[in-house]
Chain A
Amino acid sequence: MPIVKTKNLSKVYNPETVPVHALRDVNISIEKGEFTSIVGPSGSGKTTLLNMIGGLDKPTSGTVEVNGVQITGMKDSKLIDFRLHNIGFVFQHYNLIPVFTARENVSFIMLLQGRDKKEMQQRADELLDQVGLGDRKDARPAQMSGGQQQRVAVARALASEPKFILADEPTANLDGASAMNLLDIMQRMNREQHVTFVFSTHDKRVIDRARRVITMVDGAVHSDEYQKAEEYDESKA
C-alpha cells in the first residue's frame, strides 16, 4: 500500500473571478522508504501539492490518501490530529519554538501526542544525537546556526514517528556545507531507518540526492523519474 496516493488532484484558486489552476489532475503514488523530490519552476504547483499531501490545504477536486486513509474532506480537528500522528514537517524557515531549547522543541511534538515524559526525553536526546546535535540540546534556536536549527527541525519531524516527512525547500536558507550536512543526515535516515522523505525544492544538491524526481509544470506532473542518486558519504555525516 502506498504511503501517499493522490487521485485526479486539482486546485483552482479564485474559481469565480480569475481562475488560477495551481494543480491539474495530479496522480502520484509514493511508497514507503522513498526519497522523492518534487521539482519545478516557481508557480509550477509543487508547494501546493505538498500542502495537499500534508493536509494543510483542501483540493478543489480529487482526493489524497495517506497510508490508506482519505484525508480529503476530513474535519479540521481530526485533520490536526491525523497530521500529528502521521506526517512530519520540515519548513524552509525552520519554524522552531523560539523560547524552547532544542530538546524541548523535539519533545513538544511527543507531548502533544501524550507520550510519557521519560520516553519523550530519551527519544529527543536520541534524535538530537542522530542529527549531530548531542552537544546543543539545551541551546535555544537563537543560539544556533541555520543549519543546526534545520537539523533540530528534522529531529522534531521524526519525533512523532510519522509515516513520512514533508520538507518544503529545506535547504533554501542554508549555506552549502550546512545543506550537504542536512542532506547527508536525511539520506542516512532514509537508508538505515527507511524514513520516507518528500521534498519540494529548486536545489540541485537535493535533486541529485533524490532517487525519484517528480517534475511539475503548470500544475501538472510533467515527468516522474527514478534515478541513481548520489551516494551518502559516511565521512560527511
Chain B
Amino acid sequence: MYTYIKLAWRNIWRNRRRTLITVSAIIFAVVIAIMMQSINRGSYEVMIERSVNFSTGYLQIQDYRYDDEASLDNSFYFDDELRRRILDADDRIEKILPRIETFMLAANDQSTRGAVVFGINPEKEQRFNELQNFKSDGRFFDPDEQAAILSEGLANRLQLAVGDSLVLIGQGRFGMSASGLFEITGLIDHPIRDLNNQAVFLPLQTAQQFLSADDHLTSIMIAPQREGQTNSVAQSLKRELDGSELVVFTWPELMPELLELMELDLAGPRFFTLILYLVIGFGFFGTILTMTMERLKEFGVLLSVGMKRARLASVVFIETLMISILGVLVGMGAAWLILKAIDPIVLYGDAAQAVIDMGFEPVLPMSFAADQFYIQGFYVFLIAMAVFLFPLIKVMRLNILEAARS
C-alpha cells in the first residue's frame, strides 16, 4: 500500500503549479465557507448558551400543562423525594436548578412596569450559571429574606436603586392575590437583554410563600455533564417520570423559534457555499481531467505490464483524495487561525447602537463549533467522489492498445 501512496503522492506533484492552484482553490472555499458559517452562528450560539444557562437549562422539567399555559396553577410539588428521583434517574446529571416564575407588575411610588418574577436559590443559581457574577450593585439576598434583586433595565425604568423598596402586584396560585413590598438589595446586569429590562429575583422560599405556592415550582432546569448527553439524559428522565404529571423538554424543544431563525439565517451562507463549491468542484474536475488525459498512455502501459484496473483506479483515487485532504486540512487550519485572530468583532458607532437597540451586545462573536469545520471535509470529500468518477470510468473502460498509441 505504501508504494501506491508514494506513487500517488509523487503523481500529484508532477505538475506542482497545477496542484498548488487546485489545493489553493479548495483552501479558499473551505476558509470562506467556515468563516461565513462561523460569523452567522456565533451570535446565535451566544444567545443559545445564555438561554440555556439562564432561562431554559439543557433540559427542563415542567408540569405537563405548563407548556400550553404558563401559569402558577400549573406549577408542581417539589420535595426531597422528587429531587432524589431526578438525580438518581441518570448519573450524568450534574446540576439541577429549581425555579418558580410568573408575570407581575413591579411598581415604585409613581409608576408601574410589567416584570418577570423569578423565585431562585442564589447558591444553586451561582453553581448553575454564575448569576451572582452579573451583580452590578448591592448584594445578593439570603434564602429567606424579604428582598429582591432587580435587573438594571427595570431599575432604570422604575428609577429604583439599592436600598429602595419595590412593590410587586399580581396573582398567586389558584387566583390568590399577591402583593408585597420588597427591599432592593442588589442590581444585576442580566446577560439576556430582554430579561435585563424586566427581571425581578426573589428568594425561592419567599417567592413561594408570596405566590401562595409553598414547595411548588414552575420548572427545574437540568444540566448534564456534557451537552452531547442532553438527549440520552432526557430519555432517562422521561422513563423515570413516566406516569407522573411531569414532562421533560430538551433545550431545542424549548426554543424552536431561535433554532429556526438560526437555520433561516444560515440558509444564505449555505447557498453561497454551495455555489462556491460548485465552482471549485469544476476547477478540481479540470485538474483531475487533465491529470487523467495526459496519462492515458501511461495507464495503458501499466495495464499492459499487469497492473489490475481496480488497483490503477485506486491510485488515481488516492491522488484525488490527497488533493482534497490537503485543501481541507490547510483550509480548516487557516480558517481556525483567522477566526481566532478576529474573534470577536467589536462594533462601533451607529452599527453598535443599532445592535444594542435590538437587544443584543454590539459584538459579533465567532463560532468554533466543530461540525462547521468537519462538514467542509465532508463536502469536499463528496466533490472528490464526484470528480473521481471520470478517471474511474476512463480506467475501467480503457482500451490498452488505443491508450498505448495515444
Contacts and interface: CB of A to CB of B under 8 A. Distances in A.
27 contacts: A54-B304, A56-B401, A57-B401, A77-B308, A77-B309, A80-B303, A80-B307, A80-B309, A81-B306, A83-B304, A83-B305, A84-B305, A84-B306, A89-B301, A89-B304, A89-B305, A97-B298, A98-B14, A98-B298, A99-B7, A99-B10, A99-B11, A104-B3, A109-B306, A111-B3, A112-B306, A112-B311
Given A51-B401, A56-B400, A97-B298, A80 B306 contact: yes
Contacts of B302: 97
Contacts of B10: 99-100
B89 to A, nearest CB: 57
Contacts of B308: 77, 80-81, 112
Contacts of A113: 306
A22 to B, nearest CB: 12
A95 B305 CA distance: 11
A77 B400 CA distance: 13
Interface in B1-21: 3, 7, 10-11, 14
Contacts of A80: 303, 306-309
Interface string A47-86: 0000100101100000000000000000011001101110
Nearest to B10: A99
Interface in A93-136: 95, 97-100, 104, 107-109, 111-113
A95 B301 contact: yes
Nearest to B4: A111
B306 A100 contact: no
Contacts of B304: 54, 56, 83, 89
* Interface residues on chain A, size class: 20 to 34
A81 B307 CA distance: 8
Given A57-B401, A111-B3, A99 B305 contact: no
A116 to B, nearest CB: 13
Output the residue of B10, B306, B311 with the most chain A CB within 10 A.
B306
Given A57-B401, A97-B7, A98-B14, A109 B298 contact: no
6 A-B pairs with the lowest CB-CB distances in the bound complex, closest first? A84-B306, A99-B10, A95-B301, A83-B306, A112-B306, A56-B400
B303 to A, nearest CB: 6
B37 to A, nearest CB: 38
Contacts of B7: 97, 99-100
For chain B, the bracket of interface size reads 20 to 34
Interface string B299-320: 0011111111101000000000
B172 to A, nearest CB: 83
Given A81-B306, A98-B298, 13 more contacts: A57-B401, A77-B308, A80-B307, A80-B308, A83-B306, A84-B305, A89-B305, A95-B298, A97-B298, A99-B7, A107-B3, A112-B306, A112-B307
A232 interface: no
Contacts of A85: 306
A99 B15 CA distance: 11
A108 B303 contact: no
A85 B305 CA distance: 9
A196 interface: no
Nearest to A113: B306
A76 B305 CA distance: 13
A56 B307 CA distance: 13
Contacts of A109: 305-306
Contacts of B404: 56, 91
A91 B301 contact: yes
Contacts of B401: 51, 56-57
Counting chain B CB atoms within 10 Å of each CB, which of A51, A54, A108, A156 scores highest? A108
A104 B298 CA distance: 16
Contact of A160 (B301, B306, B311): B306
Nearest to A48: B401
A112 B315 CA distance: 13
A108 B11 CA distance: 15
A66 to B, nearest CB: 14
Nearest to B302: A97
Nearest to B297: A95
A55 to B, nearest CB: 9
Interface string B374-404: 0000000000000000000000000011001
A81 B400 CA distance: 14
Contacts of A98: 14, 298
A160 B404 CA distance: 21
A78 B258 CA distance: 61
Contacts of A89: 301, 304-305
Contacts of B309: 76-77, 80
A91 B305 CA distance: 11
A29 B14 CA distance: 43
A18 to B, nearest CB: 19
Contacts of A95: 297-298, 301
A54 B350 CA distance: 80
A111 B297 CA distance: 21
Contact of B14 (A54, A81, A99, A104): A99
B286 to A, nearest CB: 21
Contacts of A160: 306
A84 to B, nearest CB: 3
A144 to B, nearest CB: 17
A85 B306 CA distance: 8
A91 B297 CA distance: 12
